[in-house]
Structures are given as structure tokens and as C-alpha cells.
Structure 1
Amino acid sequence: MSKTPHQEAEEALTAYGLTLPAATVGPGWAFTRVLRVNNRMFAIFGDKNQPLDQLTVTVKLPISVEMVADLPFVRESRGWYKQHDWVIAHFGPVDDVLAELDTLEAWIRQSYVAIAPKKLSRSIAGETL
């Protein structure tokens, strides 16, 4: 069975996240997959009962949280997530998630820098977030 664009996007974003220093991948909560650095999550994929033709990506964006709020695929964060600058991007069955890969990679990078220990963050800080 062929993969949906949403599954392809998650694979590509996971592969990108794993290029960052000390990044690992694994299960998150019961229905999510996560990227971690030093056992701290910096990207979360999935949502409860999410079909294969949808993708939810949650990342910490302390620099651009206000700038991305009006994007059509960004859901309003609430509670702890909103208080700590986490952004939830959701792509439904008709959304072209593959067209947003560059944006999502940049978000994963920004989230990594926000979560990673300073020594690791500095190792990529010279590059554009």
C-alpha cells in the first residue's frame, strides 16, 4: 500500500529532525511519535485517533509564535502549550502538507534550539533558523 502525502511528510520531517545533534525518535504519548534531544521533546507528530491522511505537528516556537498564528493550518494553542509558545499545525486530507515541508523543517529547527542544551544549540546557531 502506498503512503499518503501526510505519512511521507512525517517521514521527511523525522529524517530532518534526526540530522540535528543528539536527536532521537520514539513513541510519545499513546498516540504520538516524538523527536527528542536529551530526553526532552522538541517535535510531536500525531493526534488522538488521527487517520493516515492527516498530520498534526506540535513544536515550540518562541521566536515566531505570534507570526505564525494566522496561517491557515495553525490551530489555536491552549493552556500550557500556549503559555510556553508551542504551536500546533494540522493538515487535513485536502491540505498540501508537502508544500509546507520547508516551513515545518524551519519550525523543527527553531524548536530544537529552544529545547536543546545550550552547547548543542550553539553547534547549529550559526546557521539560519
Structure 2
Amino acid sequence: MSTPQNPCRQAEAELLAHGLSLHETDLAPPRRDADPFHYLRVAGKGFAWFGGRDASPDELVLTVKLPISAEMVAELPFVQESKGWHKRNNWVTARFGPADDVLAELETLKAWMLQSYLSMAPRKLARQVAGD
């Protein structure tokens, strides 16, 4: 009998697959051997990253750019307060621990990833994807 997968790892796998399904995206190689992040890029520009230096293996940490809704989502219980450059540039970090129902928020996180992708993609590509 197999052990059920950690919901945060399950959500991360689903979100990575979603991000990679968007046009012209790739998973950037780690910058260093011990880099704890997974970066999704479009045309060489990062639009989402998973993990963080202080993230534990049993939690999900996702950072995306939300130029339209960053202020609206700031009060959600799973959104970490942004500071400095991240706040000025509308980057938002969602953090879910092992006791949180991350799977209930998957559609929201996918929509955030799309908004981030559209904000970072070249205009022609963003128009194409937004029209799909």
C-alpha cells in the first residue's frame, strides 16, 4: 500500500505542470547546486518560483507577480507580507503548511500563475495566450 503524497508536493507538481503548459515556458536550471528554488520562465523571464531559503520540505511556497490583484490578495491568510522591491513590483508569496488545505486553492494559484505569466511574457505572446 502506497503512502498518500504530501498535499503540498501534489499541489506543486500540478502547478508546475500548469505553468509548463503555457506557451514558451521552461523550468530554469538552479543558479547554484544548493539553490532551493524552482523557477518557471517565459522568454527567459521568471514568472513564478517555488520554494525559498526558509521553506521546509513539507510546505508549498509560490511567488508570482500580480500587477492587477496584489493589493486585493494581501489579506488572504496564506499570503505572506511582501516588502521592499517585491512589494513595489507587485510580487506576492503564497505559503501553505502541511495542515493547510492547499488543494482547495489550486484554481486560484493557477489563475495567479497565468496573471504573472501574462505580465512577464512578450506582448505578442501574452496577447496570444490571453486570447486562447
Fold match by TM threshold 0.5: yes
**Counterpart in 2 of 1:44?**
49
The secondary structure found in structure 2 opposite 1:18 is helix
Segments of 4+ in structure 1 off by > 2 A?
26-29, 49-52
Contact 2:7/2:98, CA 8 A, preserved across alignment: no
TM-score by length of structure 1 reads 0.92
**Aligned pair partner of 2:16 in 14, 17, 28:** 14
Task: Name 1:92's counterpart in structure 2.
Answer: 97
Q: Quick check: 2:7–2:103 contact (8 Å CA) kept in 1? A: yes
- Asked if 2 retains the 8 angstrom alpha-carbon contact of 1:28 and 1:44, the reply is no
After TM superposition, give the deviation of residue 50 of structure 1 in Å: 2.3
User: Quick one: distance in 2 between partners of 1:32 and 1:11?
Assistant: 14
TM-score (norm 2): 0.90
Gaps of 5+ in 1: none
Q: 2:87 maps to which residue? A: 82
- For structure 2, list consecutive stretches of 5 or more residues without a partner in the other structure: none
Q: CA RMSD in A?
A: 1.4
Count of residues in Structure 1 that have an aligned counterpart in Structure 2? 127
Q: How far does the alpha carbon of each residue in 1:18-66 deviate from its partner, in whole angstroms, 9 at most, with x for none?
A: 1111010134451100110111100010011422220110000000111
1:50-69 matches, within 5 Å, as 50-69=55-74
Matched, 1:31 2:44: no
Conserved 8 A contact 1:4-1:52: no
